[in-house]
Structures are given as C-alpha cells and as structure tokens.
Structure 1
Amino acid sequence: MTGLNLPQASLDVAIASTDAEGSHWAIATEHPVEIGFNGRAWTVMMASPGDLEDLAFGLAVSEGVLNADARPDAIEIMTYAEGTTVDIRIAAKAINGDRLTRRTLDGHTGCGLCGIESLAELHAPGPGQRRALNISDAAIERAFNNISDRQTLNQQTHSVHAAAWCSPVGVIEFVREDVGRHNALDKLIGLLAAAGRIEAPGFVLMSSRCSYELVYKTAATGASALVTLSAPTSLALQLADAINLQILTRGPGGRVVRLGV
C-alpha cells in the first residue's frame, strides 16, 4: 500500500541568469526515509522520494536482512511532516535477526563506514561464485554511451546518481536514480530481486566513482563486473578481489580500463 502526497523528486527554483527574464532549475529533493519491518523502525536514510519500495527491499537484501527470494506480504509507505516511512510486512522467520540487530545504519547520502561493528564485517560477503563472462569493451562503451538518456531525473537536476543493470552485451535493462549512489544501487537491487533477476548474467553500471560500499552491495547480485564512471578506491579494489568481482572504469583518453580479478 502506498501512501499519498510523497514529495516531488525535484523542486523548481528560480535562479539568476544573464538574460533579463531569469530562469528556473529543478533541484533534486533529499528526503528522510525511515525503513522498518512489521511496524518496527530499522534505519533512516536521506534519499530521493521515488521507488521507495525498491530502496527498502534492496537495502534489506544488500545488508543481508532478507534473502533475495523473500517475498514481503506488503510494503506500506506513509508520508508525514517529518518524512516518509516504508514498512516491510513479512513473516518474522524470513528476517535475519542477527543482521537486523547488529547493524544500526546511519543513512546519510555520503555515508562511509556506517554501522559496521568491526573491520571484519567489511569482508562479510565472502568469495562469490560469479559467472566468468567476457564482457567486451564494446559492451561497456555501449552502456556508457546510453546511460545519460536513461537518467531522466538527472537530466532535470544534474545532481543525482544512476545505477543501471546491463546485459552481457551492454544493453541497459533497468535504471534507478537517487541523490545517494548507494541508494541508487539499493533501488536497483530491490528491483532485480522483486523481478527474480538477482542472479541474471550481466553487469552493474554506476554514474559515480567506485567506492567499497558499491562493491559490497553489488555482491548481492550475480553481476560479473561493476562498471563506474570514475576510478575505484584501494579498499574497493581489495574487496572486489575478495569476492571475484571485476572492476571496470574509464581511464585516460576515455578508454575502458579493467582492474582486478
């Protein structure tokens, strides 16, 4: 059940301009979103107010609270003056209580080591059994060249990230956008899980740098590679190597660079 009166994804703001009439710009909305299970709050994220069912389900899957094949009875969304609540209604036995109670997430859009109790948890996904797909440079370029046309919110605001699921030949099949790059990826994961596509062959494309949390979350999918617009950090590469995930990005001259694995 979806509540009424969700905020708009962007706000129309007047800006100064060199012409006499001035101009307007759509500014991305950043909105508090509380995610919980069966009426009990779990975490609060700052997110774009769209595709919130995907965000809640995807976050639960990427954090190991729910399995990707879990099917909620309902996802209830209600909006209040303070923000929006997203409540996943699901049988208690489907919830991994250990992951639910051990992590208290601080959901800022630029979050770092949020809610991790020990450094050992950075390697929690473990080595993955990933398909050894030979994703060609042409497939990567195809995805890069088409992602802008699929970023409808970013075309208005110029300030949000996109996470895309691409087929092995570089066809963009699904896209989700958010002010937070990890939120965008969680939305994509939630969409894939709900569609039964979480283990499909392909790769993830992000319109951002490659940070460790994106690698961590991509581990919840069957992706053979994580492709990002700009370079990874050292920790992202270390974690990607640990879970057998290839990292690709654009290097000098715009050429595709393959890193790790």
Structure 2
Amino acid sequence: MSQRPHPVRRVAAHAPGAAAAPVALPEETPVAVVYNGSTQAVMMATPADLEDFARGFTLTEGFAGAHEIGEVEIVAQEDGIEARIWLPEEKRDALDARRRAQVGPVGCGLCGIDSLKQAARPVPPVPASDLVLAPAEIAAALEGLRALQPIHDETRAVHAAGFYLPGRGIVLAREDVGRHNALDKLAGAMAAQRTDPRAGAVVLTSRLSLEMVQKTAMIGAPLILSVSQPTAPAVRLAEACGIALVTHNRHGTRIYTHSARIGSAHVL
C-alpha cells in the first residue's frame, strides 16, 4: 500500500476546528538493498515497484551492469523490507568500498557514504545519440508525466521520474517520496524492459541535483527535462558528460547545457 487516508482538522476563520475530509498520505518504509547476503544500503522509500528500485539502484550506483543482475527478491521483515540481489563474486571489492552503514533520509540520496570522494564520484560520458527534441516536445513531455502520477494525485507529496520517447510520449513512469528513489525505479524498469536510454529523455518533477545527473549518466540518457532549476555542480557535470539539462516552468524554457539537443533553440 503506497498511501493511506488520515483524518485532519482544518483551520478556518469561518468555522474554527471544523473537521475536514481525510487526506491521503504517502507511505514510506525502510528498504534494505542486500547484495549476496550483506546489506549495502538502507533507504526510506515508497513501498511500490521495489524490484525496479533495487535493480535501478544497482545500476545507477555503479555496483553492476544490467546483465550482471540476477533475480530480485522482495522480502517483508518485521522492521521493513529487504530487496535481495545476487551479484558475481568479483563485485565484492566494489561493494565493500561503497558500503553504506546508515539510513538515508528520503530527501538525500548521498547520505550514508563515508567519504567526500564518493560524493563526487566520476561517471562515464553518455553514449552517442542523435536525439534532438523540438521545443514543443519539452512541454509535452512534462505534461505527459504529470498525467501519470496516481500517488501524487492522492497525496501531493511524492516525486516522479519518467522516460520520454519522441513520437510516443512518456513510456515509463515511477513515483516515490524520494526523488532519487523515483529515478532508480525508472532506471530499473528501463533495464527490465530493455528500453534504449539513448533514444529519449529522462523527465523529472524534482530539483536537478548533482546525484540526479550522476544517476542519469549511469543510465546513459542524453537529456534531462525538469520543472525545477539545477544546481551549479549538476550543470558542470552535465556539461562534462554530455547531458543536456532543460527546465520548463512558468518562467519559460531554459537550456543549461548542450543546447544542440533542442531544435531551433536560441540561447539568449
């Protein structure tokens, strides 16, 4: 269950203390990502699409490639949920080097790492792609994602990540209380369905932080669309690894990097 009703009382001048209709609140639960029997990370996440989350987290954190991920087993425990994955033994050193020892709050995907170097981990350049979007497709992609957020429609308290393909619209969408979790779920779903990341754009409802660019680079998508402005480190990394960052909101459309990805783009 990803949301549940909760009674509230509304403060109103004309009717102090009046009861309001119950509101839906998103669920969040500790989810442990367990590799080869050892816990690697514990994140607070929305308990939906957890197979996608575990698979995507493995990919975007660089622990293994899609072909190295075996079956994902989701096991309910008394205090949370375990997502169990078996990886090749040669991955053990990388797992030990990046082991996370603490719970990561929903708003911070970097919590739990044990060095500044890990926070600024290098990512590979995205693969070559011929993707170019028309300006009208940017608004269409963000509007398309907005229509595929059932948990948000009920709770107004979660983020979403989607994948846009020209001519097809949003072909995959995932939601979570954590913006990085939503992107991991999307990455896992794309891997499971063998979606070519070079052919489309990652579409986000959240702020474009450094980690969101890192994860998109690991996915291999050449373009990120969002309603929210990026951070300066996110822009620098996107420029370096070949990702176009584009935002679209009431202030208009802004292209921060690799403007050639947007057709007829005039940089002012």
Give the alignment's TM-score, normalised by structure 1.
0.88
Q: 1:247 to 1:34 in 2, by over 3 A?
A: same
Aligned partner (choices 61, 64, 72) of residue 63 of structure 1: 61
Q: 1:9 to 1:113 in 2, by over 3 A?
A: closer
Question: What letter matches 1:77 in structure 2?
Answer: I
1:170-181 correspondence to structure 2 within 5 Å: 171-181=169-179
Counterpart residue number, 1:85: 82
The answer to whether the 8 A contact 1:30-1:179 is kept is yes
Counterpart residue number, 1:5: none
CA-to-aligned-CA distance 1:120-161 (integer Å, 9 cap, x gap): 762511333331421111111111122221001100110000
1:146-225 correspondence to structure 2 within 5 Å: 146-169=144-167, 171-225=169-223
CA-to-aligned-CA distance 1:184-204 (integer Å, 9 cap, x gap): 000000111111125341000
Q: 1:134 to 1:116 in 2, by over 3 A?
A: farther
Of 179-188 and 36-45, deviating more is 36-45
CA-to-aligned-CA distance 1:30-83 (integer Å, 9 cap, x gap): 1100111122211101000011111111001111111023341x2221112211
CA-to-aligned-CA distance 1:155-212 (integer Å, 9 cap, x gap): 0110000000110347000000000000000000011111112534100000011111
Of 134-143 and 183-192, deviating more is 134-143
Counterpart residue number, 1:4: none
Of 165-174 and 223-232, deviating more is 165-174
* CA distance in 2: counterparts of 1:120 and 1:76, whole angstroms: 28
Counterpart residue number, 1:11: 4
Question: What letter matches 1:246 in structure 2?
Answer: A
Q: Could you list the runs of 5+ residues in structure 2 that have no partner in the other structure?
A: 259-268
Q: 3-state DSSP class of the match of 1:249?
A: strand
Q: 3-state DSSP class of the match of 1:219?
A: helix
Q: 1:29 to 1:226 in 2, by over 3 A?
A: same
* CA distance in 1: counterparts of 2:110 and 2:86, whole angstroms: 28
* CA distance in 2: counterparts of 1:169 and 1:183, whole angstroms: 27
RMSD across aligned positions (CA): 2.0
Aligned partner (choices 101, 115, 118) of residue 117 of structure 1: 115
* CA distance in 2: counterparts of 1:83 and 1:39, whole angstroms: 16
* CA distance in 1: counterparts of 2:66 and 2:239, whole angstroms: 23
Q: 1:218 to 1:190 in 2, by over 3 A?
A: same
Instruction: Give how far 1:254 is off.
Output: 4.0
Instruction: Give how far 1:112 is off.
Output: 5.6
* CA distance in 1: counterparts of 2:36 and 2:121, whole angstroms: 29
1:225-236 correspondence to structure 2 within 5 Å: 225-236=223-234
* CA distance in 2: counterparts of 1:36 and 1:133, whole angstroms: 36
Counterpart residue number, 1:97: 92
The answer to whether the 8 A contact 2:59-2:219 is kept is no
The count of aligned residue pairs is 250
The answer to whether the 8 A contact 2:128-2:198 is kept is no
Counterpart residue number, 1:36: 34
Q: 3-state DSSP class of the match of 2:66?
A: coil
Q: 1:221 to 1:130 in 2, by over 3 A?
A: farther
The answer to whether the 8 A contact 1:10-1:26 is kept is yes
Q: 3-state DSSP class of the match of 2:72?
A: strand
